[in-house]
């Protein structure tokens, strides 16, 4: 699904502690499921795996490491096992964007 591939950014944005706690809880529970996130080429990607670690990688940012050995930057996660992630509001804003348009009509 390609919503907006340019939405992925090089700069890491800080993530609220509440979301980090959700990630830590899922690691402890060994939950496996779907993760939707913004990715560089496709716009939106999904992964089905278990999160095994939350790790800060140098200047790149904080990532979740998956059981299938992939990694996802946590500020780009839309949903984690059905729970809203750090990038959920950005994703939702694309759906609401049309609500702000005039449909070609001037008021």
Could you list the residue range(s) of the whole structural domain that residue 85 is in?
A: 5-97
Total count of domains within the chain:
1
In a domain, 106, yes or no: no
At residue 21, φ and ψ (nearest 5 deg) are -65, -40
77-80 and 83-84: which strand pairing? Answer: antiparallel
In whole angstroms, what is the distance from residue 47 CA to residue 89 CA?
A: 20
In a domain, 103, yes or no: no
In a domain, 66, yes or no: yes
pLDDT tens readout for residues 8-67: 456 888 899 999 999 999 999 999 999 999 998 778 999 999 999 999 998 899 999 999
In a domain, 75, yes or no: yes
In a domain, 105, yes or no: no
Instruction: Tell whether pTM > 0.85.
Output: no
């Amino acid at each position: 699904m390609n919503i907006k591939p340019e939405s992925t950014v090089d700069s890491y944005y800080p993530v609220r502690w509440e979301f980090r706690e959700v990630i830590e809880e899922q690691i402890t529970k060994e939950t496996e499921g779907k993760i939707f996130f913004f990715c560089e080429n496709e716009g939106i990607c999904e992964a089905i795996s278990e999160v095994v670690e939350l790790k800060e990688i140098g200047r790149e940012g904080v990532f979740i490491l998956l059981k299938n050995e992939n990694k996802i930057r946590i500020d780009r996660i839309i949903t984690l096992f059905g729970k809203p992630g750090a990038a959920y509001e950005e994703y939702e804003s694309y759906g609401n964007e049309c609500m702000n348009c005039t449909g070609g009509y001037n008021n």
